[in-house]
Structure 1
Amino acid sequence: MNTINTHYRLSHKIQDETFSLAQAGQCNLYIALSQKAIRLAVASTERNKFVVLEDYELITVFSPMQVAEQLRLIAQENELLQQQHWNMVRVSVSNQHFTLVPETLYDPAHRQDYLRLHSDLNPTQDEVLCYRHSGLEAMNIFAMDGALYQSLQELFPERSLQVVHLTSSLIRSILHQTPRTNLRSMYAFVERNYVTLLVTGPGGLEFCNIFHYVSEEDFIYYIIFIMQEQKMSPEQETLTVWGDITHDSSLFNILQKYIRQIRLGKKPADVEYSYKFHDMFEHRYFELYSLHLCE
C-alpha cells in the first residue's frame, strides 16, 4: 500500500466470535460514509443481531473524491469490503445536498430540479438518487459525489447497492421508536462540523435539516434558532442527542448551558446487539445502526 496516500486509522473494531465471512449470505453489510469517517457494520438477518462494527477515522480528508480514495485503500485490506455475497449492502451518505418532496408531487424526471432549489448541484459530477419514505409519503432526493458513487459500484460489481441519505436513516429510526403523541420533540445527530436537527410532532416529521458549524457558538446557535423557529422552549423541551459527542466535550457543555433537559439517545430497538457492543456508549453509531431499519 502507498502510505503517502493513506489518511485513515482504524479507531474502533468489534467482532462477535460467532461471526465468520462464510455467513455473509445471511448477513447485511452497512456502510456509513462522511467526510470524517467510514464506518462498517454487519447484522445477521437470521438472528436480527449486529455482530461486527468497524470505525475508520479519516484524517486530513477534505473532499468526497478523497473519501473515495480512502474507501478504496481500506478495501484493499478489509475482508468485509472484499466479500461479494452479502444478503444486502446498504450505504448512507452524509452531506447537505438533500431535500424532502411530497410523494404526490414527485416526478422522477425533475428530481435534479427539486434538488437545485436547495443545494449547489453539479449535474456533471454528482449522482442524484432518491429514497421513498412510505410512512411519510415523501421522497428524499439527494446528491452523492460521482467519484464516491463509482468507487462503491467498483467494490460491489456483482450486486446492486441501496444508497440512502443520512437523514433517511435517522428519520426512519426516530419515527420507528418514537410513539406518536400530541407532544413535539427535538432530536440532534452530531458529527464533526455538522449537526442534523429533527422535530417530530402529532403528524410525524415536522422539520429536518443539516447545519455546518465551526465553533461551539455556531453549534448552539443553530439549535436555539431552530427551537425558536419551531416555537419550542429551551427551558421546557428535552433535546435528545446522538452521535460524536461525549459528556465531557465542549459541545455537551454548551448544550447544558442553554438547554435545561438534555438526554443522550439509545441504540435503535427491535434489533439485538452482540454482547461486545454493550461497553460502548448507547448514543454512538446511531447512523450505522439505523440503516437496519430502512426498507
Structure 2
Amino acid sequence: MSLNANYKLLKKIKDDRFDEEKLHQYRLLIQIGVRDFQVAVVAESDQRLLFFEDYILNDLNSYDEQLTVLRGLFEAHAVLQAGFWKEVKISIKNNKFIQLPTTLFLSNSTAEYLKFNATIDPAAELVLNCENLSLNITTVYAAQKELVNWFQVIYQNTKLTFHHQSSALIQGVSANIHKTGNPLYIYVDRFKLHILAFQGGHLTFYNQFTIKQFSDYVKYIMLVMKNLNMDQQTSEVVLWGYIGKNSPHYIEFVKYVRNVSFGERPRHLTFGYLFDELQEHHFFDLYSIDLLTA
C-alpha cells in the first residue's frame, strides 16, 4: 500500500506480461471520481488485463483540489503520463448526467438536457456526451473543464475518448445480461448505489442513489423493486461492487432480498492468475469502460 498526503494506493496488480515498451499496443482505462481513482491496462492482442490500480483521494473540497492531486499522482507515476497508448478511455463518476434515446439527441441542446438533472457552472464545467451505440442511448454529462483540457494535452498524440460511469455500467451489464428472466442488476459503489433493469435486451431502468448509511441500500432497492413490480423474495438480483461475499453488509442485505447472486467479470476480457486476489464482482464499472466505443 502506498500512502501520500492527498491519495492512497489501495491495490496494485501488474501482470507478468506487462511491458512498458509495448504501451502503443495497450488500451489505457481511467476512471475518476470525487473520492477515488482507478486505472487499468488492456492488451489489444488478446484482451488481457495487464495492469490495475485503485486509489482513494483524500479530503477534496473543490475541482481545483482534485486536479492538483491528480497532477501529483501522474507526476509520480511510472506510465500514466506516457502519450503513446493505442487508445485512452476516461470515465467520469458524478451525478451530473442524463440519459436519452440517441434518436432524440440533438448535439446543440446538451446543456438544455442536463438542466433537468443538474446545475452546471459554465465557467468551470463542460457538457459532454457519449453513446451506447448498441442500445440507442446517449448520456449527457458534465465534466471539469480544466481536467478535460489537461488530459487532452497529456494524450494529444493518441486516440482519447471521454465517457460517464453510468454509460460504462449500462454497456457492461448489457453485454453480460442473463439469458433467462429479467433480474435487477445492482452495482455498489463507494457511497453510491447503481440500479439497472433490462427487458428483452433493452434498458428499462437506470438510476444512482447517494448512500449515507446501510439502511439506504435496502430502502432504495425496495423502492425500485416495488416500482418494477418485482418480488423481494423471488425476483433475481445480480450484485457487483464494493461488497464482500461474507461481509456484515451482505449478510444483512440478504435478509431483505433473498434471491441474490454475484455478477461475473466482463466476458470480453481475460485475466491472469495474479488477478485471482480480486473478487470477480469488484471493479465491474472500470472493466466495462473498455466496451465503450464512442
TM-score range, shorter chain: over 0.9
Alpha-carbon distance change, 109 to 6 in structure 1, aligned in 2, over 3 angstroms:
same
What does the per-residue CA deviation read over 1:21-65, in whole Å, with 9 as the maximum and x for residues that have no partner? 110111000001112211111110012110100111222234443
- Residue matched to 1:57: 56
Is residue 224 of structure 1 aligned with residue 254 of structure 2? no
The count of aligned residue pairs is: 291
1-structure distance, mates of 2:101, 2:35: 31
Shift of 1:237: 1.2
Contact 1:195/1:219 (8 A) holds in 2: yes
Contact 2:13/2:275 (8 A) holds in 1: yes
- Residue matched to 1:94: 93
- Residue matched to 2:192: 194
Map 1:47-86; keep pairs closer than 5 Å: 47-86=46-85
Indicate which of 244, 247, 255 corresponds to 1:246: 244
- Residue matched to 2:132: 133
Shift of 1:219: 1.8
2-structure distance, mates of 1:98, 1:133: 14
Question: Percent same amino acid among aligned pairs?
Answer: 26
Length-normalised TM-score, structure 1: 0.93
Map 1:6-85; keep pairs closer than 5 Å: 6-85=5-84
Gapped regions of structure 1 (runs ≥ 5) = none
Secondary structure of 1:81's counterpart equals coil
Map 1:198-277; keep pairs closer than 5 Å: 198-277=196-275
Gapped regions of structure 2 (runs ≥ 5) = none
- Residue matched to 1:159: 158
Alpha-carbon distance change, 117 to 49 in structure 1, aligned in 2, over 3 angstroms:
same
1-structure distance, mates of 2:133, 2:94: 22
Secondary structure of 2:254's counterpart equals helix
2-structure distance, mates of 1:63, 1:258: 38
Contact 2:182/2:236 (8 A) holds in 1: no
Contact 2:195/2:208 (8 A) holds in 1: yes
Q: Which moved more, 1:195-204 or 1:87-96?
A: 195-204
Contact 1:216/1:254 (8 A) holds in 2: no
Q: Which moved more, 1:107-116 or 1:68-77?
A: 68-77
Alpha-carbon distance change, 48 to 37 in structure 1, aligned in 2, over 3 angstroms:
same
2-structure distance, mates of 1:149, 1:188: 29
1-structure distance, mates of 2:7, 2:17: 28
Q: Which moved more, 1:120-129 or 1:220-229?
A: 120-129
Counterpart residue type for residue 242 of structure 2: D
Contact 2:86/2:158 (8 A) holds in 1: no
Contact 1:72/1:151 (8 A) holds in 2: no
Structure 1 vs Structure 2 CA RMSD: 1.8
Q: Which moved more, 1:252-261 or 1:40-49?
A: 252-261
Contact 1:197/1:209 (8 A) holds in 2: yes
Counterpart residue type for residue 253 of structure 2: L
2-structure distance, mates of 1:180, 1:152: 39
Shift of 1:160: 4.6
Contact 1:8/1:70 (8 A) holds in 2: yes
Length-normalised TM-score, structure 2: 0.93
What does the per-residue CA deviation read over 1:61-107, in whole Å, with 9 as the maximum and x for residues that have no partner? 34443332221111011122121110000011111111111122111
Shift of 1:147: 3.2
Contact 1:28/1:87 (8 A) holds in 2: yes
Contact 1:187/1:241 (8 A) holds in 2: yes
Report runs of 4+ in structure 1 exceeding 6 Å deviation.
Answer: none
Alpha-carbon distance change, 160 to 87 in structure 1, aligned in 2, over 3 angstroms:
closer
Contact 1:6/1:70 (8 A) holds in 2: no
What does the per-residue CA deviation read over 1:140-174, in whole Å, with 9 as the maximum and x for residues that have no partner? 11111223323323432333521110011111111
Counterpart residue type for residue 35 of structure 1: V
2-structure distance, mates of 1:177, 1:260: 21
